[in-house]
Amino acid sequence: MKKAELVSGLVLLAFGLCLWAVLIPWQVAESPDAVISPRMMPYLCATLIVVLSLILIAQSWMDLRRNADAGPAFTRAEVLSTLGVIVLFGVAAALFVFTGPLLPGIAIVLLPMLALGERRILVLTLLPAALMGGAWLLFYVALGTSFQ
Amino acid sequence: MIETFFAPLAAGFASLADVWTLTYIVIGVAVGYAVGAIPGLGKGTATAVLIPVTFYLDPVSAIGLLIGIAKGSTAGSAISAILLNTPGEPSSAATAFDGYPLAQQGKAGKALKMALFASVIGDLISTLCLIALAAPLAQFALEIGPVEQFGILLFSLTFIGALAGSSLTKGLLSGALGLLVATVGLEIETAVPRFTFGRLEFFDGVALIPVAIGMLALAEMILQMSNHRALDRQVAEIRTSTRPEDNHVTGEDWRRSLPAILRGTGIGVFVGILPGLGASVASFMSYGVTSRTSKTPERFGKGAIEGVAASESADNAVVPSSFVPLFALGIPGSVIAAILISAFVIHGITPGPMMFVEDAEIVQSLYAAMIVASFALLAIGLIGQSFFAWIIRSPMRLIAPTVLFFCTIGSFMQGGGLFGILIMVIFGVLGVFAKKLGYSFVTFLIGFVIGPSVELTLRQTLPLLDYDAANLTQHPIAAIFIAMTIGLIAIMAGSELRRRRSGRVATQT
């Protein structure tokens, strides 16, 4: 955990320095008419991030020297679950672009059910149908809007 | 004083005569109760996911529905704490200390009823405190300028950052990241685009709803799905009793619990008003005080009914009183208040002191709606408790896909289509990292919500002070808040240093 904290501190430090050196000059133009520069707040945040991440790195470094690390911050199941959700929404987005809202809606309900172990055909049919039907009634019929 | 309390309330009830508004409030409480009962699905998740459903409602129905969800969810979380020993929300963890032993003794019905009564009393008294305190505080806020507002905002964010996370450094880092994300979009004064990467979707900034749904609901679902087998096993172990005496609250139970309920309500109201402390602090504080002041402290942890009452009254009292800084100052003191800001804005209302001037009728109706929600909580809890106890037996393989579906609809509607879903997934993954590494997503979200106000007031403050900090002496209120901010950081840093040193000594010995 402390190792993960150290790594997160290093990542945030790199991000803060990248903000300072690259992102703010590239993405926030200076405005000669402005009383206060549009870059003020981003620079203020970047400074805070750099200073605080340095403190965090020092704290977790000292903790690591004193105590053994308690183990990884993430379990294998958590990593797989996170990757699974990213893939799920990637598939749903692709389906939406090529086929419209029906198939991605079904995929978002059906695929996690299958991945989590649901095998009853009736439940696999009824839950997506009920959710899609409810959404259609609410948004298309009652509220007169659509998912396009 | 009495007139300023009752007159708006009477006007509010008069404007609340519409049967549909009342129906939406009751639906909100019922949905909240059901969602709160399911472990891991808190009020933040429920309100964030359901905000898009309220787009087409009038402001009072919409916000009444969302407040109903928040109230119902807070009360409902006691069900899983008592029956499963797994609180629906962290703030109900103290309820499980005595609620679960009572359930093991076959007295689940008694514990559930006492939890409900304590919740309703805490919630109702806290709502009355909100009505009494918000307007005078707003009146005071109307008389302060941008320098003072900046001081208050800075103190609030630091206070939340210092107390909400696992460490001061990570709490402040979360707040800084929230402020940074809030700078995305067109700058206030010059309309210069910032961090837009040439994409039009970023010109209005990052939408709050996909961010909130990602960090609260999606991140929670990712973690719940990774642990679904253990959760389903706990559900399978629920025991129920059919003995009538185990299912009622007796006069003796009331005698033991009433002082705990009143004390818990007081603690909950106080903690709720202070930004960032949260319901968990209140419920544990109330439980601790009740067990320490008891003549029979040895009963606590083994099924003391007043333990359930103390925790639940404080937990539920926090929700209404946490709206005091939101209503009066426009500062969200909790995640739920931060999410409600977007609901207010969607419906054309800006929370803060001007709301009492420009939208006074809506404020009155909201007060009445909150009181109606308190009574709806009692009715729905009494009628539907066994139904909600049945809902928590639903396996995670059915709950998670349903929540993912609602997350998708919410982000799609409010985030500009597929782009909203992309934002939700990015912040969902960041939310998983935040939860696992102890970064406070509460501080991040509040920093993100108040970011534009912080920047605006800072921009106004600098010229007003003539770019000289010494001129703060002409603004004593701002100077006090800035001094308090520095003092708070010093105290928290000192305590963290002592904690680390004592850890080192313990390791060496």
d(CA B194, CA A137): 40
d(CA B423, CA B210): 6
Joined tokens for residue B180 = 């940074």
How much is the mean pLDDT over chain B? 85
d(CA A55, CA B433): 19
For A82, B70, B483, the CA distances from B135, given in Å and listed in that order, are: 45, 22, 27
A105 to chain B, any CB pair closer than 8 A? The answer is yes
Average pLDDT value for residue range B274-291:
80
CB contact under 8 A, B225 and A81: yes
For B442-455, write each residue's pLDDT tens digit: 789 888 988 888 99
Q: Which of A82, A102, A64, A117 is nearest to B221 (CA)?
A: A82
pTM for this prediction:
0.80
CB contact under 8 A, A59 and B169: yes
Size of the A and B interface in Cβ pairs below 8 Å: 171
Percent of chain B with pLDDT over 70: 92
Query: Are A49 and B172 a contacting pair, CB within 8 Å?
Result: no
B262 to chain A, any CB pair closer than 8 A? The answer is no
Q: Does residue B98 surpass a pLDDT of 70?
A: yes
Percent of chain A with pLDDT over 90: 68
d(CA B279, CA B286): 10
Nearest chain B alpha carbon to A54? B169
A31 to chain B, any CB pair closer than 8 A? The answer is yes
Q: Does residue B243 surpass a pLDDT of 90?
A: no
Q: How confident is the model at residue B181 (pLDDT cuts 50, 70, 90)?
A: very high
A64 to chain B, any CB pair closer than 8 A? The answer is no
d(CA B400, CA A113): 8
Predicted pLDDT of residue B231: 74
d(CA A59, CA A72): 18
Other CB atoms within 10 Å distance of the CB of residue B287:
30
Q: Does residue B163 surpass a pLDDT of 80?
A: no
For B396, B400, B409, the CA distances from A112, given in Å and listed in that order, are: 10, 8, 16
Question: DSSP readout, B249-304?
Answer: --HHHHHHHHHHHHHHHHHHHHHHHSTT-HHHHHHHHHHHHHHHH-S-GGGTTS--
Give strand pairing partners of B185. Answer: B194
CA–chain centroid gap for B425, Å, is 23
Q: Which of B378, B357, B377 is nearest to B8 (CA)?
A: B357
d(CA A95, CA A102): 9
Average pLDDT value for residue range A11-15:
97
If you count them, how many residues does chain A have? Answer: 148
Query: Are A24 and B194 a contacting pair, CB within 8 Å?
Result: no
Tell me which range, A127-131, A139-143, B221-225, is most confidently predicted by mean pLDDT. A127-131
A80 CB neighbours in chain B (<8 A) are 226
Q: What angle, 0 to 180 degrees and rounded to 10, lies between the N-to-C axes of helices B108-142 and B305-321?
A: 30
Contacts of B257 (CB under 8 A, 6+ apart): B114, B118, B305, B306, B308, B309, B310
d(CA A75, CA B450): 34
d(CA A6, CA B7): 57
Predicted pLDDT of residue B507: 47
Q: Enumerate the H helices of B105-190 as residue ranges.
A: 108-142, 146-164, 168-182
Phi and psi at residue B303, in whole multiples of 5°? Answer: 120, 35
Sign of dihedral through CA atoms B347, B442, B366, B349? negative
CB contact under 8 A, B437 and A112: no
Q: What is the dihedral of CA B447, B452, B458, B460, to 10 degrees?
A: -160
Separation of first and last alpha carbons in chain A: 43
* A73 DSSP 8-state letter: S
Other CB atoms within 10 Å distance of the CB of residue B502:
10
CB contact under 8 A, B190 and A33: yes
Joined tokens for residue B38 = 């399911």
Joined tokens for residue A60 = 């977790």
**Interior/surface letters B62-87, b for 16+ CB within 10 angstroms, e for the rest:** bbbbbbbbbbbbbbbbbbbbbbbbbb
Q: Does residue A12 surpass a pLDDT of 70?
A: yes
B195 CB neighbours in chain A (<8 A) are 23, 27-28, 42
B130 CB-contact burial (10 Å; exposed 0-12 / middle 13-18 / buried 19+): buried
B405 to chain A, any CB pair closer than 8 A? The answer is yes
B220 to chain A, any CB pair closer than 8 A? The answer is no
For B389-418, write each residue's pLDDT tens digit: 777 677 889 888 998 998 898 888 777 789
Predicted pLDDT of residue B509: 43
Interface of B with A in 151-190 (CB under 8 A): 167, 169-170, 172-173, 176-177, 179-180, 183, 187, 189-190
